């Protein structure tokens, strides 16, 4: 079976690149090969492309171009936000949850192990929600903290309200960072009207190229260099810029914003359709996350009743031509169970599959997938 004939339900891991994005990148790869740090004509052209892309991203988010810094992706940007807050802002305490992306969770754990900070891990409910009062009570005792909470969970889809958390952080003078990798390009973001100090994104999550992302850092925050080397990204991140990738990122985000309402309506309808089909046809099916509340419309985490056939469920779906995930893409190749499902206290004896949707998916693909699940599970 060729990839073209397979069903792709793993858009939370990565998305197909828009053809228009590829078209925008190819001339840069072919013709604009100058180093953006060079002062000659070739370099100046490359520099102009980067700054044009920066202005485009900033305009979409309603921020200053000086607040946008390009990175190699979401993981680097998460590291940058957390490590630089500790190093440059004197942060000694971090508030987060055990269901954050590993780029956040492992960074905090490393800093704790080095004695650089202490950390408080917030309690989460069985559907992945946090208690705002708990954040406030912790900040009352540790006002100069970094609060880092993802906007939308990549495995179960549960979301937080950025402004609600941000207002509490502002009250106590805390720094607020949010990993918005799963929400950038899917929900409109006016960062001037959002109480947040730093957010980050990865282009490949919104139909752009891999290996490029950005971080927004609110003006005046005082964060300094993450990667030492040259003076790129206004001395914040050394290393020659990925010019074609940055151009592709800007084009992909422009297209994402142009289609943002259409995308939400189409994918939300598809997710609701799959929920209905699964409830009707598979006895004992359950769902992880806050599917009836504030949740990513792109992610559906399905929990199936335990049985012998279910143990190989993900493998058998792959054989049937359906690409999906048993957890986040960053851990799907390992034997380690999902830290998110463990963190919400899910029954780990029940196999869980994450289906994540894009504009290319159809109801016919949902029908085929549910039928294959019935065959595999023997319902």
- Both tokens of residue 126? 């069985």
Q: Distance between CA atoms of 176 and 198, rounded to whole angstroms?
A: 7
Chain segment 258-306, per-residue pLDDT in tens: 999 999 999 999 999 999 999 999 999 999 999 989 999 999 999 999 8
Mean pLDDT for the stretch of residues 334-354? 85
Q: Distance between CA atoms of 28 and 21, rounded to whole angstroms?
A: 11
**265 burial level (CB within 10 Å; 0-12, 13-18, 19+):** exposed
Question: 321: which residues sit within 8 A by CB, 6+ positions away?
Answer: 1, 5, 6, 7
- DSSP 8-state secondary structure symbol assigned to residue 291: T
Partner residues linked to 288 by β-bridges: 301
Examine the pLDDT at 349 and tell me if it is beyond 90: no
Distances (CA, A) of 27 to 48, 213, 247, 289: 14, 20, 10, 43
Catalytic residue selected from 84, 169, 324, 330: 330
Can you give the pTM of this predicted structure?
0.94
Which residue in 219, 245, 185 sits closest to 50, CA to CA?
245
The pLDDT value given to residue 330: 45
Chain segment 48-68, per-residue pLDDT in tens: 999 999 999 999 999 999 999
The pLDDT value given to residue 327: 52
Chain segment 187-205, per-residue pLDDT in tens: 999 999 999 999 999 999 9
Active site residue 169: no
- DSSP 8-state secondary structure symbol assigned to residue 184: B
Chain segment 132-154, per-residue pLDDT in tens: 999 999 999 999 999 999 999 99
Specify the pairing of strand 145-148 against strand 118-122.
Answer: unpaired
Contact 353, 302 (CB under 8 A): yes
Contact 237, 225 (CB under 8 A): yes
- Both tokens of residue 230? 């040259």
Chain segment 234-257, per-residue pLDDT in tens: 989 999 999 999 999 999 999 999
Question: 336: which residues sit within 8 A by CB, 6+ positions away?
Answer: none
């Amino acid at each position: 079976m060729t990839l073209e004939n397979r069903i792709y339900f793993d858009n939370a891991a990565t998305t197909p690149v828009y053809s228009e994005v590829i078209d925008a990148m190819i001339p840069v790869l072919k013709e604009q090969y100058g180093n953006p740090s060079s002062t000659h004509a070739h370099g100046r052209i490359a520099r102009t492309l980067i700054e044009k892309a920066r202005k485009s991203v900033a305009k979409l988010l309603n921020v200053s171009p000086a607040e946008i810094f390009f990175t190699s992706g979401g993981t680097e940007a998460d590291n940058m936000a957390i490590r630089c807050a500790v190093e440059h802002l004197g942060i000694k305490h971090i508030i987060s949850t055990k269901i954050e992306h590993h780029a956040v969770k492992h960074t905090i754990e490393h800093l704790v192990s080095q004695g650089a900070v202490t950390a408080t891990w917030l309690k989460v409910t069985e559907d992945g929600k946090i208690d705002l009062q708990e954040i406030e009570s912790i900040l009352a005792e540790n006002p100069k903290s970094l609060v880092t909470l993802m906007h939308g969970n990549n495995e179960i889809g549960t979301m937080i309200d950025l402004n609600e958390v941000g207002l509490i952080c502002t009250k106590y003078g805390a720094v607020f960072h949010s990993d918005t990798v799963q929400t950038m390009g899917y929900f409109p973001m006016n960062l001037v009207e959002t109480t947040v100090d730093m957010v980050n994104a990865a282009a490949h999550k919104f139909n752009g190229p891999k290996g490029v992302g950005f971080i927004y850092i609110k003006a005046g925050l005082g964060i300094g260099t993450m990667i030492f080397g040259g003076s790129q990204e206004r001395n914040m991140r050394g290393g020659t810029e990925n010019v074609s990738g940055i151009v592709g990122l800007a084009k992909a985000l422009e297209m994402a914003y142009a289609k943002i309402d259409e995308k939400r309506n189409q994918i939300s309808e598809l997710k609701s359709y799959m929920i209905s089909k699964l409830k009707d046809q598979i006895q004992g099916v359950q769902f992880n996350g806050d599917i009836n509340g504030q949740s990513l419309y792109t992610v559906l985490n399905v929990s199936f009743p335990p049985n012998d056939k279910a143990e190989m469920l993900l493998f058998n779906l792959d054989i049937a031509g359906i690409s999906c995930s048993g957890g986040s893409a960053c851990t799907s190749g390992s034997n380690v169970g999902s830290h998110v499902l463990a963190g919400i206290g899910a029954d780990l004896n029940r196999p869980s599959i994450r289906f994540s949707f894009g504009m290319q998916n159809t109801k016919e693909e949902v029908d085929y997938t549910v039928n294959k699940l019935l065959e595999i599970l023997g319902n």
